[in-house]
Amino acid sequence: MKATAKKPAAKAAKRAGKAPARRAVAAKKPAGKRAAATKAAPARKPAPKKAARPAVVRPAAKPARPAPARPAGPEPIPEGFRTVTPYLSIDGAAKAIEYYEAGFGAVEIMRLEAPGGLLGHAEIKIGDSIVMLADPWPGQYTKAPTTLGGATASIMLYVPDVDGFMAQAVKAGASVTQPPTNMFWGDRFGKLRDPFGHEWGVSTHVEDVAPEEMGRRMEEAMKSMASAGGAEPPEAA
């Protein structure tokens, strides 16, 4: 029984002693192959360097041209003036200033007296606009309406309240030549003649009208006037 028990133990010992040796040999073989493979692999050639792109040279921006310097001195258009300024020729210009102050709410800016009690030059302001006026000079081309028997032009005014403005002007001495009426171009418009013969158109804008619609309305207005016996066409602003 004892001998039988030892044999398996001895065999197991022999097997146990041989197994590690086999494993050790087996473990060394792969290491040898890897080392050989590493030695045998050819060295990689370095990748060729890419040529550097040439730098883009952009032209420098041209400096902005300085605005031409305006010569030192007064402004070409005096303060308060617009490009167009009416100049009225009036018999009795000094009296006319008094009327425009009372009837139009004008403000006198300046005046220059002339010999003989005449007004050589004056400036008044109506709303935001300047109007010049003077007595007619002997031999001067422009004449006063009272001399001509009529005016060669009328002056257009835009005001906040055409009805109120015309009522004030009439109270001060003007006469109405066309009562305030809503017109086809979108203004409430009237006309008056001041005591010195000048005619003024007065408007308050009450409606924005497209050009196409304005043309259509004008045709209707012309037809209406023709049927009424050819009345004087209204003046457009």
Is residue 164, in this structure, part of any structural domain at all?
yes
The CATH number assigned to the domain holding 114 equals: 3.30.720.120
36: three-class secondary structure by DSSP: helix
pTM of model > 0.75: no
Place of tokens 């050639």: 45
The CATH number assigned to the domain holding 167 equals: 3.30.720.110
Residue 225 and residue 171 share a domain: yes
Mean pLDDT score, 104-120: 95
- Are 86 and 132 a contacting pair, CB within 8 Å? yes
- DSSP letters, 43-95, are PPPPPPPPPPPPPP-PPPPPPPPPPPPPPSSS-SS-TT--S---EEE-TTHHH
Residue 162 and residue 145 share a domain: no
Is residue 60, in this structure, part of any structural domain at all?
no
Determine whether 55 is exposed, middle or buried from the number of CB atoms within 10 Å of its CB (0-12, 13-18, 19+).
exposed
Q: What is the pLDDT of residues 152-179, one digit of tens each?
A: 999 999 999 999 999 999 999 999 999 9
Mean pLDDT score, 221-226: 89
Q: What is the pLDDT of residue 46?
A: 66
How many folded domains does the chain comprise? 2
Estimate to the nearest angstrom the gap between the alpha carbon of 139 and the chain centroid.
Answer: 47
Residue 145 and residue 158 share a domain: no
Q: What is the pLDDT of residues 140-152, one digit of tens each?
A: 899 999 999 999 9
Residue 213 and residue 138 share a domain: no
Q: What is the pLDDT of residue 73?
A: 85
Q: What is the pLDDT of residues 16-69, one digit of tens each?
A: 555 444 554 444 555 555 555 455 556 676 666 666 676 666 777 777 777 777
Distance CA 195, CA 100 (A): 10
Residue 121 and residue 168 share a domain: no
Tally of CB atoms within 10 A around 199 = 19
- For residue 141, the enclosing domain spans 79-149
